[in-house]
Amino acid sequence: MIRVLDKATIDKIAAGEVIERPSSVVKELLENAIDAGSTAVTVEIKDGGTSFIRVTDNGCGIPKEEVRMAYMRHATSKIEHAEDLNSILSLGFRGEALSTIAAVSQTEMITKTATDLTGIKYVIHGGKEIEYKDVGVPNGTTIVVRNLFFNTPARKKFLKSAMTEGSYIFDLLTRIALSHPEISFKLIANGQTRIDTSGNGKLKDTIYQLYGRDITANLIPIDYTDGDIHLSGFIGKPFIARGNRGLENYFINHRYIKSNVVNRAIEEGYRTFVMQHKFPFTVLYLDLPQEKCDVNVHPTKMEFKYDNEKKLFEVCCTAVKLALTHKEIIPKEGEKP
Ligand code: ADP
Ligand code: MG
């Protein structure tokens, strides 16, 4: 017998594809907080986010009458028409995050806009509404996600140890903080503060707050323009290179997007300066004309293509090389190599 699945089941299936692990939940909630214009965002997790995630922001909040709607699939305030999709580089998935997260966890949202007099507390467990009531709260939004995958045990089995899941969240927060130095981010894991950025808008201060003194003391600024491609940020002196790509950070139009072309270009720029199998520290912002970018966003992976990849490669590589040769790269006396 053919049947149309009910909403809760559809959301549960969709969630299986889009929400892979606690860090995917945190990513979606953080993007929402950023989109809401927040200047301070706190993420608290327990057990690597598997049992507890709480994201608190001071953004615009959700108007009372829209709270329930925010949890409907394809409910979004961010795009109206199909054409709008082109102008958005990467929204994890469109209007699906809250509904899918709520389908596979026990969630609670408290939200208030500046114009509403009171806020709303809204509780959903496994897609089912449990509570909806008025509460007195500050402006902004807090979302709690408990016991992710409690009703999809097969998914839950695929999670790694709490420590590993927690480290994914740590990495994610690091990247997001780097891409938004104007926002203060806090990560508290099992009661301990792990990340605390000031949000003063200065990238160098953010790098210091995330990576400490040794790296911050060995940065070379980059500011390079070629045609409609602009690169800025910092790259590390060659001797702080590491054995893996973990510190090769770059953001395309302020989003964390992976591009093999950019990775290869950065490494090529460093080629004569670092030993083989070593990878540089970078925090680069690439500004590219949106219309020349094509980001194919699959729920779990992202494919980035640029109109002229050869040009993109050349520009990145040249910018890195120039920065390396124009600066004193031999550590000064007293500086720790
Ligand atoms: P999307 O972000 O793709 O629009 P979501 O399911 O993540 O879809 O969110 C649905 C809607 O709920 C958003 O479009 C936004 O209007 C609202 N929303 C979600 N989180 C927040 C938040 N932290 N602050 C303000 N509004 C939010
Ligand atoms: Mg979203």
Distance CA 304, CA 145 (A): 30
pLDDT score at 143: 98
pLDDT band at 89 (very low <50, low <70, confident <90, very high): very low
User: Are the C-beta atoms of residues 306 and 320 closer than 8 Å to each other?
Assistant: no
State ipTM: 0.99
Probe ligand 1: pick from 85, 98, 104, 124, max atoms within 8 Å of CB? 98
Q: Crossing angle for the helix pair 22-35 and 162-179, nearest 10 degrees?
A: 20
Mutational test site, ligand 1, from 25, 31, 32, max ligand atoms within 8 Å of CB: 32
Task: Calculate the average pLDDT of the chain.
Answer: 89
Return the pLDDT at 119.
Answer: 97
Ligand 1 first shell, C-beta below 6 A: 28, 32-33, 36, 57, 59-62, 70, 75-78, 91, 94-98, 141
Of the ranges 10-14, 127-131, 153-157, 258-262, which one carries the lowest mean pLDDT score?
10-14
The DSSP bridge partners found for residue 105 are none
Kindly provide the b/e burial profile for residues 38-51, where b requires at least 16 CB atoms within 10 angstroms of the residue's own CB: bebbbbbbbbbbbe
233: left (phi over 0), alpha (psi -120 to 50) or beta: left
pLDDT digits (tens, 9 = 90+) for 263-315: 999 999 999 998 889 999 999 999 999 889 887 766 556 778 899 999 999 99
Max avg pLDDT among 86-95, 201-210, 270-279, 323-332: 201-210
pLDDT of residue 299: 59
All structural domains of the chain: 7-196 (3.30.565.10), 215-326 (3.30.230.10)
